[in-house]
Amino acid sequence: MQKIREGVYEIPKEGEMRVPARIYASEKILGKIEQEAFQQLKNSAVLPGIQKYAIGMPDMHTGYGPPIGGVGAFEKETGVISPGFVGFDISCSVRLIRTNLEAKEIKPKLKELIEVLFELIPAGVGEKGKIRLGKDELGELFASGAAYSVKKGYGWKTDLERTEENGKMKNANPAKVSEKAFQRGLNQSGTLGSGNHFLEIQEVKEIFDSETAKKFGLFKGQAVIMLHSGSRGAGHQIATDYIDKMLQAMEKYKIKVPDRQLACTPINSEEGQDYLQAMNCGVNYALANHQAMTHWTREGFEKVFKQKAEDLGMNVVYTVCHNIAKLEKHEINGKQKELLVHRKGATRAMPAGRTENPKVYITTGHPVIIPGSMGTSSYVLVGTETALKETFASVCHGAGRAMSRHAAMQRKRGEEVKKELELKGQVVKGASWEGLAEEAPEAYKDIDEVIAAVELSGLCKKISRHFPMAVMKG
Amino acid sequence: MQKFVFLEHTADAKFRAFGKTIEECFANSALAMNSVECNTKKVSAKQKLSMEISAPNPEELLHKFLEETLFQMETKEMLFSKFKIKISKEQTSLKAELFGEPIDKKKHELKTLIKAVTWNNFYLKKEKGAWIAQAVCDT
């Protein structure tokens, strides 16, 4: 591996690799990344049409297919689309909701708040959704995302302006979604899920750029809410269906991949276009999911504070996704080209001026929301011109796991994890003890180190750091 | 013979399942998958669900069987603890009966939802007269 500059390393092209692999990390973090994750990044560099580099972020770790924390951009005319490079949880996203409240005002009510939110938001294994959709309604939701939810009374119109793609991914065609994905989607709209999905009430602990923070509606000592969830069973089934389809179709296109999980077809093939339209339905499902949970979060706060959510200033700051493939224009050898950028556990970070930013954030660049592990900090960043040039405007997506779920469970019981966090003054409620044990803070890399590495390599600018006061785990 | 064992994987649930026969290996794979979500010892074999599946080869048959089992778990909101499986002589089709009950938060010691059965490091093979399957489930 060669050091390119501080925070940037390269694995030269070898074997079947079409491009080199680049890893954005500090020396300290680099030493913690598993060999298998590097191999998965090299495998990703084999895919047809990949441009410049297969890119690994500092939170990179072993996944399936590409590593989690991987980015790959493919030329629209000659490149491929790979559902495994998006992941099963299509559009797994993070939403940040602000409030006018100061952390100290909220602290005495945290326990009550988490209890109320647990009542309102279904979370964990086997928890049924409260929204029961008919097939036609689900089709409409697949086609129009968060806009559907707002129409049905979940949330405010202004929420859409502060969501990627204005809350509705275009080119979403429910006819390309299987009957099975419909069935999995019917009863899960507005559910948090399990694993690393969460709702946190956080305190803004540090502001690094007061001018930008002000534009994002953030201030020191403020109480904010962070929501992490995805497209649930509907998205998982869309990915499953199309990976299976592409495995069958690859021979026809004479494509060979080093790992079946990287199954892909040309972007312009029938299978590729079908997947793109179905994936966009998955994105819309996730956006609608966030919208419903935002509505119940506001309801919970209204109940506890006996004030209207509008008066509590509970506006969405932004919603940004970290499992997706998006068509974007980027510069390749001095020319603007249309590329399909796959981000698997990586967050889009468009700098100021780019038209992908919502109008409200055109002069700052949109907020890049990076959740930490349970009991540790989360960050708001903005992307830089360096990120645009080098990583197709992408940064990390979180701390990244350092320990398997199994190892974490062997190490500590869920009850212990809860107790330790409570001793630090946090309120913790999980849908299951095992879930809490699996998500123990020490099972993850140090988020502060990860963010420092992203900053070191010049991909982002820090805006704020938040610390959890109360956690609801699925 | 051990039914299954969990292996180290940073993000997801990776297991290896064993069987003297291919049917036993399929059943233990499905049991391993259910045990990612709950304590299967607490799941009573009260209700029966039948399925028929075919695929071009035994390995893809197992993958499809696990995908279908996961689909049933999620859409029927059930967990399963016992499996009766019959596999054709060509090992390209199966008839299965899954036994379990609706998810009960108080009873089943629920853990983590499986999102999907991946193809990463997935295999089914016969070694020294016994069957071994390996899978990574996204959680």
| Sequence-distant (≥ 6) Cβ neighbours of residue A459 within 8 angstroms | A24, A349, A383, A384, A386, A387, A390, A391, A394, A395
Using CA atoms, how far apart are residues A470 and B35, in angstroms rounded to an integer?
Answer: 29
CA A99 to chain centre: 22
Write the CA distances from A362 to A183, A212, A330, A444, integer angstroms. 39, 12, 18, 33
> What pLDDT does B57 receive?
96
Longest distance between any two alpha carbons in chain A, whole Å: 64
* Three-point CA angle A303, A308, A313, nearest 5°: 115
Q: Which of A197, A290, A322, A397 is catalytic?
A: A397
Two tokens, residue B59: 């390995």
CA torsion sign for A58, A32, A262, B114 is negative
- Write phi, then psi, for A31 (nearest 5 degrees): -65, -15
Taking Cα atoms as reference points, which of B30, B12, B11, B9 lies closest to residue B124? B30
pLDDT digits (tens, 9 = 90+) for B40-78: 999 999 999 999 999 999 999 999 999 999 999 999 999
The domain spans of chain B are 4-138
Quick one: pLDDT at residue A128? 81
CATH class of the B4-138 domain in this structure: alpha beta
- Residue A183: its chain B contacts at CB < 8 A? 71, 75
Residue ranges of alpha helices (H) inside chain B are 22-37, 58-75
In degrees rounded to 5, what are phi and psi of residue A125?
Answer: -60, 130
Query: How far is B72 from chain A, CA to nearest CA, in Å?
Result: 9
By the 8 A CB rule, do B99 and B117 touch? no
Residues in chain A: 474
pLDDT tens-place values along chain A, 474 residues long: 999 999 999 999 999 999 999 999 999 999 999 999 999 999 999 999 999 999 999 999 999 999 999 999 999 999 999 999 999 999 999 999 999 999 999 999 999 999 999 999 999 887 888 998 999 999 999 999 999 999 999 999 999 999 999 999 999 999 999 999 999 999 999 999 988 899 999 999 999 999 999 999 999 999 999 999 999 999 999 999 999 999 999 999 999 999 999 999 999 999 999 999 999 999 999 999 999 999 999 999 999 999 999 999 999 999 999 999 999 999 999 999 999 999 999 999 999 999 999 999 999 999 999 999 888 999 999 999 999 999 999 999 999 888 888 888 888 999 999 999 999 899 999 988 888 898 899 888 899 999 999 999 999 999 999 999 999 998
User: To the nearest whole angstrom, how far is the Cα of A166 from the nearest Cα of chain B?
Assistant: 27
| A371-A346-A192 Cα angle (round to 5) | 50
Look-up of token digits 């992307």: A383
Contacts of A469 (CB under 8 A, 6+ apart): A103, A106, A107, A110, A200, A201, A202, A203, A223, A425, A426, A427
Question: What span, in angstroms and rounded, lies between the C-alpha atoms of A185 and A142?
Answer: 10
Chain A residues inside the 8 Å CB shell of B77: 126, 128, 187
Q: Which residues of B touch A32 (CB under 8 A)?
A: none
Q: Confirm if A377 and A466 have CB atoms less than 8 A apart.
A: yes
Of A34, A88, A431, the CB nearest to B115: A88
Which residues fall within 8 angstroms of residue A303, CB to CB, at 6 or more apart?
Answer: A116
For residue A72, what pLDDT is reported? 98
Give the H or E element holding residue A32: none
The pLDDT profile of chain B, 139 residues, written as one tens digit per residue, is 899 999 988 778 999 999 999 999 999 999 999 999 999 999 999 999 999 999 999 999 999 999 999 999 999 999 999 999 999 999 999 999 999 999 998 999 998 899 999 999 999 999 999 999 999 999 8
Token pair in block for residue A453: 């590495």
Domain definitions of chain A by residue range: 2-402+444-473
Question: Quick check: A197 and A439 in contact, CB under 8 A?
Answer: no
pLDDT in tens, A445-455: 899 999 999 99
Question: A68 with A56: CB under 8 angstroms?
Answer: no
State the best of B6, B120, B136 to mutate against chain A, taking most chain A CBs within 10 Å.
B120
Reported ipTM: 0.93
Closest chain B CA to residue A408: B10
In chain B, the largest separation of any two C-alpha atoms, in whole Å, equals: 43
DSSP-derived 3-state class of residue B98: strand
| Residue A214 amino acid letter | K
Of A34, A180, A432, nearest to B71 by CB-CB distance is A180
Q: Give the pLDDT score at A474.
A: 86
Q: Mark whether A397 is an active-site residue.
A: yes
Task: Give the residue among A403, A411, A321, A401 at the shortest CA–CA distance from A368.
Answer: A321
Task: Please list every residue in chain B whose beta carbon sits closer than 8 Å to the beta carbon of residue A411.
Answer: none
> How long is chain B?
139
Q: How do A316-321 and A323-332 pair as beta strands?
A: unpaired
**The whole model's pTM is what?**
0.96
* CB pairs A-B closer than 8 Å: 119
Residue of A68, A180, A244 with shortest CB distance to B11: A68
Say which CATH architecture domain A2-402+444-473 belongs to. Alpha-Beta Complex (3.90)
